[in-house]
Amino acid sequence: MAKAAAPFVAAVDKTTRGFESFPLRQSFEIAVTEIGVSMASTAAFADEKIETPSRVDVCREKVAKSALKYRADIDGLRAVAVLSVLAFHIGLSRFRGGFVGVDVFFVISGYLISSIIFADINASRFTIVGFYERRIRRIFPVLVVTLVVCSVVAVIYLLPSELVDYAKSMLAATSSVSNLYFWLHSGYFSSPTSKPLLHTWSLAVEEQFYITFPLFLLLVRRFSPRRLRSAVVILFFVSLVTSCIVVSRNPDTAFYMLYTRAWELLLGTLLSLHMFPRLTSAWLRNIATLGGTGMIMWSVLFYSQETLFPGASALLPCVGSALIIWAGEAGASLVGSVLSWRPVVFVGLISYSLYLWHWPVIVLRHMGMLVGLGAISFGEHSALFSSHRFDMLVEVVLSFFLAILSWRFVERPFRSGALRLSGRPLFALTGVVMIVLLGSAAWTVLAQGFKSRFPDKALQVASAADVAGENSVRNGVCFITTDYHFENYKQDACLHEDKSKKNYLLIGDSHSAMLWSALSSTLENSNVLQASTAACAPALNPSGSDDCKKMMGYIFQQYLPTHEVQGLFVVGRWEQKDLAPLTGLISWAKQHQVPVTVFGPVPEYDAPLPRLLAYSIAWDKPALASQHLVASSKMLDAEMQRMEASTWHVSYISLYDEICGADKCLEYADVAHKIPIMGDDNHLSEPGASFVVQRLVDKGELN
């Protein structure tokens, strides 16, 4: 027994050696020791460990009894998965396919949980009650703490209608059916930052799988034990084929449903059944793990929300994960060594807590929870470290901080420390907590979000928290958003020239779309043409999406060389990196004798202005909104004014100066202070755009 445990104890000692300066060294050692007790899993991204209240001495006995060995590379793979999801959610454009990290988690979870189940079944010690007891002890404590903290913050910050929606999602999350709730109410990629519990859909999928899968295995083992492997294989292919069919007809259904996701967990199950030959050759293991890593990274870097997913597209990250797990069963590899590196393993250890905390942090930051961060200026380093990047850093640091705290003081104590419960006390406490959570959520729904928290005027102002309607921006016709493509652009309608008027062409991103209605209705004897594409800063050779490149290519290579316009209105949500391409665009326009008017940036906030104004009214803090101004907008506007005077020599409209005077920025578009000038954090509302354009015309700056 001691001999069997010795290699693992030595590995633990080696893993923690040289780690003395790290504040959590003792916690790390205990965690690594505990995960050596058994294989791990997450019912949504955590490692399942057979709980033990003791440390290394008892672990030796446990390890000796266990047929399963600890694999640090799997914790490392968890780190890759959770970091991919985190990168995608904070908005790192290079990781636009980071959502596939969830699929990596599914394969890991299927492999580890199935390994434990099959080992227990083969040893005739598996019980449904014992299995669910481990699941509750592993996932429920951190989930409850997350829900409680999020609920307290939600009561403070969420508007009544939002609080009702949050309460409904909490009902679903507590009942492990949040995938069904979000399937009925929204797509994964549509307005996600208004849903603090959106990420719990994956927990629901796993819990539904682990409620049904053990029952399936027991039935098969009882009535046809010799066909257990065949039954799992058949179930795998049925789910995979179903996913491929459903995703082509209804992507949202395929994304959220258990029956279209089960094959990903079952892929891990197939590995746990040892249906594939062991890779005894080191070079074969290296090929497999390098190939698997390449498959995961390809999907992370090159998939996007436009990818038809899951279906066949999910095979790439899932098979990649399976290759790494499969190769690691037989021995070490280069990739396995990297994944087993201490810091990577540590991220894997806290991956469940990190997954649970990161999304609420991001959502609540977007709602204005973190006061004043937008006002931080980076001066001459703003090009390298913009306020947007700083927001990302804050979200990451805060997410890690909360994850480490909950792992240290919630996960470990409930799993193997003083707070560890089992049997009837565990189920009783779980039942009581669920009743409290469900009752609180139901009460919130029935109370209609406790409207008395906000005065009527605050709610009226907050109701303007929507960007201009589709008609005013001509969404899907002249404004190509992510829901449309360049092929949907209606050239006849958007570029229709009126020979009796002056024809101006408006180009740019969503900031150009927000101005079109105001320019068209305010400029006399003028006809404003429109060519707008979302997230497409105007440039001759833009770096945006394919639709952006097609739009700009069409305008500058086909339309303008063959059509005469009296002016080119260039509008964008500018960044420092856009100024050089903009200079090239202006030079091209001068060469082709096209007059150019550049519209500068508008003031931006780190949360939607209507929401901030509602808070300021409800909490009687008139200066609250100004505390959330993003400093970089003012600096960029000043830089663009300097470039206009020194280099561009074209007409420049400073929207920032028009909205923000010497003292403070205008926050309302009416004298009664009922209509916010901004519709969100960076777009003028429709009344706000009309208000600003009219002021420019009245001053003679725009005619």
Cα 358 to Cα 394: distance, rounded to the nearest angstrom? 11
Cα 341 to Cα 338: distance, rounded to the nearest angstrom? 5
Give the pLDDT confidence score for residue 225 in this predicted structure. 83
Q: What is the mean pLDDT of the chain?
A: 87
Give tens-digit pLDDT for 617-658: 999 999 999 999 988 899 999 999 999 999 999 999 999 999
Question: Which of 113-122, 143-152, 334-343 is predicted least confidently?
Answer: 113-122
State the DSSP H helix or E strand holding residue 479, giving kind and residue range, or none if neither.
strand 479-480
| Whether 254 contacts 316, CB under 8 Å | no
- Label residue 128 by pLDDT band (50, 70, 90): confident
Exposure pattern of 178-196 as b/e (b: 16+ CB <10 Å)? Answer: bbbbbbeebebeeebbbbb
| CATH number listed for the domain at residues 469-601+631-660+689-698 | 3.40.50.1110
- Rounded mean pLDDT, 209-235: 90
Q: DSSP string covering 133-162, please?
A: HHHHHHHHHHHHHHHHHHHHHHHHHS-HHH
Closest alpha carbon to 45 in 358, 409, 351, 407: 351
Alpha helices in 175-250 (DSSP H): 178-185, 201-223, 228-249
- Label residue 544 by pLDDT band (50, 70, 90): confident
Which one is predicted more confidently, 187 or 20?
187
The backbone region for 525, taken as left when phi is positive above 0, alpha when psi lies in -120 to 50, beta otherwise, is left
Give the pLDDT confidence score for residue 515 in this predicted structure. 96
Give tens-digit pLDDT for 237-254: 999 999 999 999 999 999
Give tens-digit pLDDT for 485-530: 999 999 999 999 999 999 999 999 999 999 999 999 999 899 999 9
Percent of residues, the chain, with pLDDT higher than 70: 86
Classify burial at 65, counting beta carbons within 10 Å of its beta carbon; exposed 0-12, middle 13-18, buried 19 or more.
middle
Give the pLDDT confidence score for residue 9 in this predicted structure. 37
Give the pLDDT confidence score for residue 473 in this predicted structure. 79
Answer yes or no: is pLDDT of 66 > 60. no
What global pTM score does this model have? Answer: 0.84
Structural domain boundaries of the chain?
2-453, 469-601+631-660+689-698
Closest alpha carbon to 612 in 371, 377, 361, 398: 371
Percent of residues, the chain, with pLDDT higher than 90: 71
- Rounded mean pLDDT, 447-466: 89
- Label residue 595 by pLDDT band (50, 70, 90): very high
Cα angle vertex 206, ends 120, 335, to 5°?
A: 80
- Rounded mean pLDDT, 217-226: 86
Give tens-digit pLDDT for 369-386: 765 555 555 555 554 456
The token pair at 78 is 């968890």
HSE at residue 474, side-chain half, CA atoms within 13 A, is: 25
Q: CA dist 427 to 43, 44, 133, 265, 417, Å? A: 18, 20, 8, 26, 18
Largest CA distance in the chain: 95
